[in-house]
Each structure stands twice: as C-alpha cells, then as structure tokens.
Chain A
Amino acid sequence: MTENLKLVALAVFSPFISLLLIAIFTRGSKKLSAFIAILAILVSMVITIVLYARNFDGVKQQEVYYFQWLLTDYFSLRFGFIFDSLSLGMMFIVCFVSLLVHIYSIGYMHGDKGLARFYAWLSLFSWAMLVFVVSPTLLQAFFGWELVGAASFLLIGFWFHKPEAAAAAKKAFVMTRFGDFGFFVGLLILLVSFGNIDFMTLNQLGKNLGVNPSFITATSLLIFMGIMGKSAQFPLHAWLPDAMEGPTPVSALIHAATMVAAGIYLIARAYGFFSASPFTMEFIAVVGMLTSLIAATIALVQNDVKKVMAYSTISQLGLMISVLGGGGYKAGVFHLFTHAFFKALLFLCAGSLIHHFNTNDMWEMAEKGGVRKMKITLTTLIIGSLALAGVFPFAGFFSKDAIIVAFEQNGKELFAYAVMIVSFLTAYYTFRMIFVLLSPEPESHGEHEEGHDEHHGHDSPANMTIPLIMLAVFAVFVGFIDTPWLGGYFDKFLLGKEEIEHLHWGVMIKSTVVVLLGIGFAYYQFGGKTGRREGFAEKVGWIKAMLVNKYYVDDFYFLVVRGLVIPFATVLNWIDRKVINDTGINGSGNLVLYSGRFLSFLMNGLLQRYLGTSIAILLFIVFLWQLI
C-alpha cells in the first residue's frame, strides 16, 4: 500500500469513524456531534489537499490496492482503493462541498432537534460517497452506490414528520433502486462472466479481451440503467425534484454536487467499457440530451427556487451524460467539476434565502422583499447563476463550451445545437429567477413586513455566508483551468496530455450570444416588474399544462404503481389467502375433518351397521390379500 493510498484510506474512513462516534457516544449532544462530523470531514479535506499537493500535475501512475472481502469458488470478492487523477478530483469535490455543507448546516439547521442525527447521516453519506469514489471494482462501486442511496433516503426524509418529505424519500429510494436493478443485474452478469472485475479490466474488455460486442452492449446498458436512476435521467428523473423536500444543504451536497454526479463519475470511470459499445454510447448521448431538454423546459415554469435548481441539475446532468456518450470524456468530467461548485453554490444560496424567508416560492420571496438587502447571498447567487448560464468568465462558460466543442469534434452537430438550446433555456430560467427575486418591493407589503419581522434585511449568519463565498470563488475561477491561459491544466491533470488545446473562439462567441439572448429575454419578460407574471412558455395553454405537469411522468408512475403494482399485489394476496391458504392448506385440513364426518356414517350407533361393516371389511381384507 503506497503512501498515497494510505492517505486515501484515512480520508475515506474518517467520516465513518465520525458516524460511529456519533451513533455510539455523542448522539445526545448536538454540538459535540456537529463538531465531530466537521472535524472528520475536515480531516478528509486536509488529506485530499495534501494528496493534491503531492500530485499537483495529476497522478501519473494509477495506484490500486485490494484486500479480500469474500472468497467463493468463482472468484474472490475484493475491495480496495484506487488513486488516480479522476478519483482525486472527485474526492476533492466531495470533501470540499461536504465540508462546506457541514459548516453551512450549523447555521441552517440551527435549533433542529435532530441535529446529531443530521450530522451522523452526513457523515454516513460522506463515507459512502468516498467509498464509491475510491472503488477500484464495480462491486465496491455498487456497495457505495447503494449506501449513498440509503443516506440520501435518510436525509431527504430527515424531516419525516412532513408527509411530502416522507413520500419524496421513498420515491427517491425506490426509483433509484429500480435503476439499480439494472445495475445489479449487469454487475452480476459481469461478476459471473469475469469474476470480480476491476475497472482496469473492465475498460479493456472490448479491446483486448475480445468479448462479444453485444454482450458489452447489454451489460453496459444494464449498468446505465442504474446511472439513469442515480443521476436522474429521463425517465427515472422524477425523484430528484421531489427530493428537494430535504434540508437544503442536503440538496446542495447530494442532489446537486456529488451523489447525482456519481453516475457521471461511473461512466467516466468505466469509460473504456461504455465506449466499447457504439450503441450504448449513442443511447447514452440521446438519453442525456433528451433529459437535458426535458428538464430545461420544465424548469421554465417552476416557481419554487429549489425546484428550478433541481431541474437545472437534471438538465446539466443530462448534458454531462450526453457528452460522455458523445465521446467528450474530458468535457463531461470538466462539466461535472464546475457544475459541482456552482450548483452547490446555488443551492446554498437558495438555502440561505429559504432560511431567511421561510418559503420556497420565488414570488413569495419577492413579495416579502428584502432580497436586495442580503448582500452576500445575492451576490453569490448571481455569480452562481452566471456560472450556470455560462457567461464568460464564469466556470460554466468554459465547461459548456467544452461540451459543444466535444460534440462538434465528434461530428455530432445536432447535439451541439441542442446544447445551444439548452443553454438558452438555462440562461432564461436562471435569470427568470434572479429577476423575479430582484423585482422591486411592493410598498404596501414592505411596511407591514418591516414591523412584523425584524430580522428581514439582514443577511444569514457567517457560518452560512462563508461557504457561499468560498464556493463563489471557485464558481468564478475554476473554469480557467481548462484554458490555455493556465496552460491547459485540466487536460494535463486529468489526461496527462501535454499539448495545449487552443481556444475555440467560434463556439465561445456563439454560446455567449445565445446565453445573452436568454438573459435578455428573461429581463424582457421579468426584469424590474412587480407581481406575478407569465413567461413565454406559460403563454400557450397546452404547453404550460404539459410543463407544469412535468410531461406527465409522475402521473405515469402513479398510474403504474396504483394501477398495476398494487392491484397485482392485491390479486396475489387474494390468491394467497383464498386459493393457497383457504383452499390448499385449510382445504386439506378440512378434508381430514370432513372425511372424519363422512366416516362417521359407519359409526351411526346401529349394532348391525357395525357388524355388517366389520364383516365387509374382513372380506375386503381377504380380497385384498388375493389381490396382493
């Protein structure tokens, strides 16, 4: 085990230890629990920084360590740690966002009676996510994959007394679990065929080992099914908007930056495997783009700030997946990195707003007024929005350009145009939100609110704003690492590529124009006005109906569950009760009873019946003897 891997192991298990400590010792004390959890993730963060410092130019040689978990006849099931640029980068994101969310939550969750539990679950999540990130084998990836799902369930359902939260938690878990069915089957097939396969071998399957391409297509599609669930791709995306019922820091951490990105990470990790099947790649690209468009359109009509962000997350995830499917490995990973920062930022800002206004609805926030007074929140929110929309020089700009470039380079112009549309829509709905929030305060309400609620007009506490600022810094600057101005650092780090890619000015200009159009259009419709208004998408009735109803996907699921699964279960239950139990089991019991009753005709109390039966049986026995 190399030095690096030892550090990785330490980083992974630090949150786990925190989980155990909180569960066993400090669950009674909120402060202590929070302290332990933050300390643990801080340790991980520090280790990650140390690792990063030691491998500033990327990890040249992938380092892997295995230990045996189980041994059966086919193979040994091994767990272990992997250390390379990809995992280091992801670890950095996970630890960084997680740390900030931990800190942010002190303020956000202030006074919640389940704080210790909250931190325990956060630790659980961090641990599970890190396990996933450093997994060298598909099995361990699945292990972590499921655990983050469970952590997500627990955190979405953190306020379980809210029925919506409870329902959302269940929905999230079941839906991702449905995807995981595919993942699990794919994993099982791979396990059975190749033993406990690690990613290195997996990536070589198509090339060196000469495996049947259709086999790879089938398994990769199955695994992609899991990714669709976890990364909320159409049609398994429906859980993610609902998951916003959880505490906002959780949304920021899990449902924006890390867990939902796990699918993208997995594709990146097993890129060789996926790319060995052209059909899968095509499929991934199409599904991703479709998701992206669908989510972006739905986001147009959302009024809940978190929902807007949730759909934008789905949309961005779709982009990443699509570009990975389209062959843009670097672009996908890069967007994953940048997106993690600005989306986490956006969510935390939203959290700050929600914390402040006690509502999720952007119109209500606007009505209550005082957004402008929350200087830091507002600033960072706008920075995040710009980054999301992809305005130069914010992070999103570079990564989105990379995506378009990747599509163009791979000869998928259609996708490139689709990205343009998405980025127009993104810019539009993001700034729709900003402009609504910035809308002038209605005078009548302002007076009333002022007297009613004193703390209006102040920003959130420092433990909430500092994470915002830190993330904002990243959201502004992190995009530059892929530019020639920083020597193509990201390429070097991730791919070890030495030559510097030049800038694609054409694409940059095109996309900037599109984004500015989107922002402008948003301003045209929402800027500087008071009161509720309708955007362009809401003007047409049937489109609005479709979008408000989220393309009826939820209704479809409702129909499937209520109309198919539960009736099916009821019918089975009926069969079980009536046919198997009452007829089969009770029936055979009754058979005994009734045959006893039937036989009692022999015992009807008449002497001659007794005698006659006796003789008859005796003679029957004699005949029986002659038969035998």
Chain B
Amino acid sequence: MAFPILSFILIVPTITVLLILFCKPEQKTAIRVISLIGTGITLLLALMVFIQYDRTKYGIQFMEFIPWVPKWGINYILGVDGLSVPLVLLNAIAIFTGVMVSWHIEDRVKEFYGFLIFLATGVFGVFMTQDLFFFALFYEVAVLPMYLLIAIWGSGKNREYAAFKLTLVLFFGSAFVMGGILYLYKAAGLNTFNLMELKRLAQYPRTVQSILFLLFFIGFGSIVPSFPLHTWSPEGHACAPSAVSMLHAGVLMKLGGYGLLRIAIPLLPEGLRDWALVMMGLSMCNIVYGAFTAIAQDDMKFMVGFSSVSHMGMVLFGISTMTLTGLNGAAFQMFAHGLVTALYFSSIGGMYNKTHTRMISELGGIANIMPRAAFFFALAGMAGLGLPGFAPFVAELLVFIAGVKKYTIFGIIAVISVVVTAFYILRCVQRTYFGRTNPKWEGLTDITNFDVIPLVILVIALFIFGMYPSLVLDLLQSETKNLAAKLGTL
C-alpha cells in the first residue's frame, strides 16, 4: 500500500492535539511551537496532495479504503478529487496561518490550540472522506470547538450569545443533514454509505429527491449561510478571536457549499432543479441584502461578516444556475472567499491586538501608525470587492456569467453588489485607516514581521490563484463537469 498521505493529514493534527494535551499549561511557547510544527507538516502534506494529484486522470485519488462496519455499509474511505484538493489546501493554509495569527493569545493557550487544531482536523475529515457516515461524523466536529473558542477567547460582551447562536443554528442545520444522509442511505437500498457507490448506482425517485434536497438545502444552507439563517455568521465572526474567525469564515462556511456540491447535487440533481428558483431567490437576498447591510455596520468584523454573507450568496447563486460555469464559479468562490476572509480577519486581528476596538467610528488614521495592517486590510478589501488579479474576481465573473445567462435580470441585480461592496469596503478603509490619526492611538506599534508572514502567505495565494485560476479551476472543473452532466446542462 502506498503512503497513506490523507490519513496522515488527519493523524498529524490529531497527534498534535494529543501532544498539546500532554503539555503543561505553563509551557506556552512549547505549545505554540508544537502547533506550528504540526500544522506546518499538515500544510506540507496538503501541498503534496495538491501537487501530486494527477491532473491527467482526475477523479478520486490517494484513496484509502478500510471496511469499518461492514454490516452497516460503513467504510473508512479517504480520497480526494478535484473538488476537495483545493479545499484541503485552503484548510491547511487557514489553520497554519491561524496558528501564527493567534500567537499573541496568552490565556489558556493549551486549550485554545487544542480546540483549534481539533476543529481543523474535523474539517479535513469532511473534505477528504468519501463515506457519508464519516462525513456526518466529521461535519459537526468542526462546530463544537467553535463554541468554546468563541465563548472563551472571543471578544465583546455578547460573545457567549454569539457562540450559542452559531452552535445551535449549525446544529439545527446539521440535524437536517443527518436526516438527509440517513434517508439517502435508506432510499438507495444499497446498504452502503459509500458515496462513490451511491453516486454510481443509486437511483432516487423524483419526489424523494425533491424532499431530500430540501433537507440538504436547509442543512447546508444554514452553514453557507443562506438568507434567513445567516445571522449567526456576522455575530460569530465579530465575537471570535481572529484565528477562529479565519477558520470559521475561511473554511467552516465552505462546508455548506461543499456538502451541496459533494452530496446533494450529484445524488439529487432533480431536487436541485426543483429548488433552484428558491435557492436563487435566497441567494439574491444574501448577495444584495448582505452587501447593503454591511454598509450600516460599525464593527469591522461585522462588516466583513455581512460581506461574507453577501459573497457566500454567490456560491448559492452559482449553484442555482445549474450550469458548469455557475458551479465552477461557486466552487471557486468558496476557495477564493476562504482566502480573502482569512486575510481580512488576520489583518483586523493584528490591528485589534493593539487598539482593542474594531469600531470604525472610534478608529481613524490607523494607516499612519500601522501601515502594514492597513495595507493588508486594503489588499483584502481590494480582493474582496472583486478586483481583477485576485482570486475572487474569477469566481464572481464565472458566477455572474452563469447568472446572467440563466436568470438575466437577477444576474444583473447580483452585479449591483459589486458596486455596494466597493462602497462599504472603501468607506471602511477611508474611515478606519485613512485620514488623521486619532490621538488615542498614537504610540501604538505596527504588527511585527512574524505577524506579517501569514498575511503574506494569504496574499500570495490570492494573487497566484487570481492570476492563474486554472491551477485550481481545472481541478474543480473535473468534478463540476460531472455535476453538470448529472444536471443535464453540459
């Protein structure tokens, strides 16, 4: 058997968590270094996967198959395909940079890193497993540490409320996902949770598809987050520590879109067709409403949170077009948005560590004293508002193309968000970073060289994938093509 690289992507962080558990709480530096090494190795492994993935064949590779509970049709299957490879890489980047960003945390370091890396492990699991049972198993792993991470290390007085809201809404969603997965298993009648088998063999009647898709839509929609269930997201972002916000917006929210692309659409194409209009309508709300609401925010993280709502709406919008371009755009948007928000939050976090406020109205002229933090935020803003050359532009372009093609008017309405996004991002940049410095902030120092490293990593990634999107898009496309074929729009 070949080197089980995917298992190692799971095992290395797990071992890291264990090592952290056995450290004494006082050995803060040791814990940090262990985390950094552990996540660094994971990043290397993920890069290895990204590079070694055979782009001539595509399909599921690096597969590991161990029968787990044969009677129930549960198998331990790890494997990555074009859809998961970029997301695994994204997650590895996010956790690695997240560990670096949270270097400053002094309070209960041991538990913090333990939970953080545990969370990332869960996300890796979701992205790599090809078995629905394990999907479900890993799916919620990511949610729970989030609660503690936000509630303990978060900021703001209603952080607990935010943490609870996040946890409960996500669990609410996952209830539907679990039910849906179980029903998928039952309705296929193949006695297997093996996703590949199900994709190949399962036939679901139309009504079943429709019902199940609704379940998955509610379930994954709550984590995307889709319109009425989105309110956990800005608040969760705002109250979480930077690294958690990064993982949260950067990776966790992708689980929803990933779930739709991985499970719901290939298995239930008819369902998507039935619900596409609803999905489109909700995504419209996300995109436009999220963008406008972001204008009214005073807390920078809230603003970014609503911009996430808006941008993740693009994912849903792309999916709802049911075309290859739209699906490509949606998948790419997940990847790109992950990088952008990670950059946003790490730069905001860098600033927040010094100023201890994120209120736009209280800040001002920060660029004079923290040019680096300001620079990276502005860069993130530029990327976020869809500037060509950065990854999100590609995603938005694809989504809009598909949107205009499929739903002309709504596609055009969605484009309005581009203007609004520019407005609130630049307004924020202007009011927070530019202008005269509030004397209250004089004497603060800029973020350190060490802090810059994660930011630079993210910027490089954004730039590379923005300039040469095929690097990722070809991978994504190898899978979305199958989806489009199932949807009959290829």
Contacts and interface: CB of A to CB of B under 8 A. Distances in A.
Interface of A: 68-74, 77, 142-144, 146-147, 150, 153, 157, 160-163, 165-167, 169-170, 173-174, 177-178, 180-181, 184-185, 188-189, 191-192, 565-566, 568-570, 572-573, 576, 580-581, 584-586, 589
A569 B412 CA distance: 20
Contact of B422 (A160, A163, A173): A173
B325 A74 contact: yes
B416 to A, nearest CB: 7
19 contacts: A69-B469, A70-B470, A72-B325, A73-B324, A73-B325, A73-B484, A74-B401, A150-B387, A153-B426, A157-B430, A181-B416, A181-B418, A184-B415, A185-B404, A188-B400, A188-B404, A192-B401, A581-B231, A585-B232
B388 to A, nearest CB: 4
A161 B490 contact: no
Contacts of B427: 170
Contacts of B229: 585
B434 A572 contact: no
Contacts of A72: 324-325, 328, 398, 401, 477
Contacts of B422: 173-174, 177
A184 B388 contact: no
B204 interface: no
Given A68-B470, A166-B434, 20 more contacts: A70-B398, A72-B324, A73-B324, A74-B405, A160-B367, A161-B367, A166-B435, A170-B430, A185-B404, A188-B412, A188-B415, A189-B404, A191-B401, A192-B405, A565-B292, A566-B296, A569-B293, A569-B294, A572-B289, A576-B289
Contacts of B228: 580, 584
Contacts of B411: 188
Contact of A185 (B412, B437, B490): B412
A146 B388 contact: yes
B165 A585 contact: yes
A485 B297 CA distance: 64
B389 interface: yes
B423 A565 contact: yes
A74 B165 CA distance: 42
B50 interface: no
A163 B415 CA distance: 30
Contacts of B264: none
Interface residues of B, number: 63
Q: Which of A161, A192, A570, A589 has the most B CB atoms < 10 Å from its CB?
A: A192
B365 A161 contact: yes
A191 B477 CA distance: 19
Contacts of B477: 71-72
B405 A570 contact: no
B429 interface: yes
Interface string B314-350: 0000000001110010000000000000000000000
A572 B292 contact: yes
Contacts of B394: 70
Interface string B399-418: 01100110010011001101
Contacts of A178: 419
Q: Is the interface of B mostly helix, strand, loop or mixed?
A: helix
B160 to A, nearest CB: 13
Nearest to B456: A24
A160 B433 contact: yes
B447 to A, nearest CB: 15
A295 B24 CA distance: 72
B420 to A, nearest CB: 8
Given A69-B470, A73-B484, A73-B490, A146 B296 contact: no
Interface string B263-299: 0000000000000000000000000010011111100
B388 A142 contact: yes
* Chain A interface, >50% SS class: helix
Nearest to B422: A177
A589 B405 contact: no
Given A70-B469, A188-B401, A192-B401, A173 B426 contact: yes
Nearest first, the 3 closest Cβ-Cβ pairs linking A and B are: A166-B434, A569-B295, A573-B296
B55 interface: no
A429 to B, nearest CB: 31
Contacts of B484: 73
Contact of A174 (B168, B169, B386, B423): B423
A189 B403 CA distance: 10
A33 B112 CA distance: 42
Given A74-B405, A146-B387, A160-B435, A568 B292 contact: yes
A144 B389 CA distance: 9
B379 to A, nearest CB: 10
Given A184-B418, A185-B412, A585-B229, A166 B430 contact: yes
A169 B415 contact: no
Given A174-B419, A192-B404, A573 B388 contact: no
Contacts of B382: 150
A192 to B, nearest CB: 4
B354 interface: no
Nearest to A184: B415
A588 B289 CA distance: 22
A570 B401 contact: no
* Central interface residue in B385, B398, B434, by most chain A CB within 10 Å: B434
Contacts of A576: 231, 289, 293
Contacts of B295: 565-566, 569
A167 B429 CA distance: 10
B473 interface: yes
B436 interface: yes
Contacts of B61: none
A589 B229 CA distance: 13
Given A142-B388, A177-B418, A184-B415, A161 B400 contact: no
Nearest to A74: B325
Q: Which of B289, B365, B427, B430 has the most CB of A within 10 A?
A: B430
A167 B385 CA distance: 18
Nearest to B421: A177
A178 B419 CA distance: 6
Contacts of B429: 170
B357 interface: no
Nearest to B232: A585
Contacts of B490: 73
B319 to A, nearest CB: 15
A188 B406 CA distance: 12
